[in-house]
């Protein structure tokens, strides 16, 4: 799976955390997320504008022409003749001396980051999120009674096909129904319903149960503050 660590991956972290805040039996690490603000009642884009740069700062060493800077960053040049070990040692000493000269004392701060080494396929995580939300919508009409996979599958299909129908004559690109959940289907926009025109859904129902299990792993990972976790896909 392709790895994604940018804004869309953070969006998924935010959305799964929001689900965790409303999930039964899931305890969110509120101390860890204190700097995130009111996630439960915020929309991602608004939240991102307010918190994105603060919570997910760009922390890579930059190469520049100037040797030192008294701005918010220190720009350095590194001769290629130096080995990484030699350059790191020189950089450490340079910063110690420079900070002393300008009276700067760095203050440790929490920097949020996706699980180190975890690989995220954004399209797949969106499918897990859509399936989780479909289950919650159906569950809301069943008053706590266990929801059969076939009903969740029907709702997931309806949601994907309705969205595709809505945007089909525009330039907006939306992800289609995952192959694992597809079948011989027909969507009726007038009634907002889906008709299965043949075949069985055993494999698709099995895929829905797997999607829900993975989504639950992701919700709990978000609650802990370890998103998406290294083994979220294991069920």
Same domain, 105 and 129: no
Same domain, 45 and 20: yes
Same domain, 70 and 184: no
For residue range 30-83, list pLDDT tens digits in order. Answer: 999 999 999 999 999 999 999 988 888 765 555 554 444 556 777 788 887 788
Domain assignment present for residue 235? The answer is no
Confidence of residue 144 (pLDDT cuts 50, 70, 90): low
Return the pLDDT at 143.
Answer: 75
Backbone CA torsion sign across 43, 143, 196, 205: positive
Return the pLDDT at 89.
Answer: 86
Same domain, 30 and 67: no
Domain total for the chain? 2
Domain range enclosing 18: 7-56+114-224
For residue range 72-118, list pLDDT tens digits in order. Answer: 777 788 887 788 888 888 888 888 888 888 888 877 667 788 998 88
Same domain, 127 and 154: yes
For residue range 170-183, list pLDDT tens digits in order. Answer: 988 889 999 899 87
Same domain, 144 and 214: yes
Domain assignment present for residue 234? The answer is no
From 110, 125, 152, give the residue that closes a domain.
110
* 195 secondary structure, DSSP code: E
Return the pLDDT at 65.
Answer: 47
Higher confidence at residue 192 or residue 108? 192
Higher confidence at residue 122 or residue 101? 122
Give the pTM.
0.74
Confidence of residue 3 (pLDDT cuts 50, 70, 90): very low
Q: How many CB atoms lie within 10 A of CB 201?
A: 18
Residue 42 CA to residue 142 CA, distance in Å, equals 28
Contact 27, 17 (CB under 8 A): no
CA dihedral 177→179→181→185, nearest 10 degrees, is 70
Same domain, 80 and 48: no
Residue 75 CA to residue 64 CA, distance in Å, equals 6
Where b means 16+ CB within 10 Å and e means fewer, 54-77 reads ebbeeeeeeeeeeeeeeeeebebe
Please provide the distance, in angstroms rounded to a whole number, between the alpha carbons at the two ends of the chain.
Answer: 17
From 110, 144, 172, give the residue that closes a domain.
110
- 197 has a pLDDT exceeding 70: no
């Amino acid at each position: 799976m392709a790895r994604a660590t940018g804004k869309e991956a953070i969006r998924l972290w935010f959305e799964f955390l929001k689900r965790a805040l409303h999930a039964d039996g899931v305890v969110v690490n509120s101390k860890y997320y204190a700097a995130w603000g009111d996630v439960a009642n915020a929309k991602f884009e608004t939240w991102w504008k307010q918190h994105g740069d603060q919570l997910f700062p760009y922390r890579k060493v930059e190469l520049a022409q100037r040797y030192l800077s008294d701005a918010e960053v220190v720009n350095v040049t590194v001769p290629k003749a130096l080995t990484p070990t030699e350059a790191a040692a020189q950089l450490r000493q340079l910063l110690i001396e420079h900070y002393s000269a300008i009276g700067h004392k760095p203050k440790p701060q929490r920097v949020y980051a996706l699980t180190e080494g975890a690989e995220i396929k954004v399209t797949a995580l969106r499918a897990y999120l859509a399936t989780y939300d479909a289950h919650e919508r159906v569950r809301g009409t069943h008053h706590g009674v266990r929801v059969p996979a076939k009903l969740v599958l029907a709702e997931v299909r309806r949601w994907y096909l309705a969205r595709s129908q809505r945007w089909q004559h525009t330039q907006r690109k939306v992800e289609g129904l995952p192959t694992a959940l597809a079948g011989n289907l027909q969507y009726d926009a007038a009634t907002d319903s889906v008709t299965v025109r043949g075949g069985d859904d055993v494999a698709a129902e099995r895929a829905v149960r797997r999607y829900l299990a993975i989504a639950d792993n992701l919700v709990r990972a978000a609650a802990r503050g370890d998103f998406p976790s290294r083994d979220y896909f294991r069920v």
